[in-house]
Amino acid sequence: MNNCNATIWPGILATGGKNTPLGGGFCLHSGRRQFLRVSHNWSGRVWARQGCDFDRHTGIGACQTGDCNGLLQCKGIGGKPPATVVEMTFGSPASPLHFYDVSTVDGFNLPVSMVPLVRREMMGGCGVAACEVDLNMYCPAALVVKTQEKVVGCKSPCLATGFPRFCCTGDFSGAEKCQPTVFGRLFKTVCPRAYSHPFDEKTGLKTCKAPRYVITFCPPT
Q: What is the CATH number of the domain that holds 106?
A: 2.60.110.10
Domain for residue 61, yes or no? yes
Is 87 a member of any domain? Answer: yes
In a domain, 1, yes or no: no
Q: Is residue 76 part of a domain?
A: yes
Q: Does residue 4 fall inside a structural domain? A: no
Domain presence at residue 3: no
Q: For position 124, what pLDDT does the model report? A: 58
Q: What is the pLDDT of residue 185?
A: 87
**Cα–Cα nearest to 200, from 141, 156, 144, 154:** 156
The count of structural domains within the chain is: 1
- Minimal CA–CA distance to 196: which of 147, 117, 138, 151? 138
How confident is the prediction for the chain on average, in pLDDT? Answer: 92
Give the Cα separation of 48 and 219 in Å (integer).
Answer: 13
Burial per residue of 18-35, b for 16 or more beta-carbon CB atoms within 10 angstroms, e otherwise: bebbeebbbbbeeeeeee
Q: Under a CB-based contact definition with an 8 Å cutoff, are residues 34 and 26 in contact?
A: yes
Torsion angle of the four alpha carbons 170, 159, 84, 51, in this order, in degrees rounded to the nearest 10:
-160
Summarised one tens digit per residue, pLDDT across range 119-145 is 765 555 789 999 999 999 999 999 999
Residues of the chain whose pLDDT is less than 70? 93, 120-124
What's the rounded Cα separation, in Å, for the pair 171 and 168? 8
Which residue range(s) make up the domain with 198? 9-217
Q: What is the model's pLDDT at position 7?
A: 98
Residue 188: inside a domain, yes or no? yes
Q: What is the largest CA-CA distance in the chain?
A: 51
- Residue 196: predicted pLDDT: 87
Q: Residue 120: its pLDDT value, please?
A: 64
**C-alpha dihedral sign at 199, 46, 11, 214:** negative
Burial 57-72, CB ≥16 within 10 A → b, else e: eeeeeebbbbbbebbb
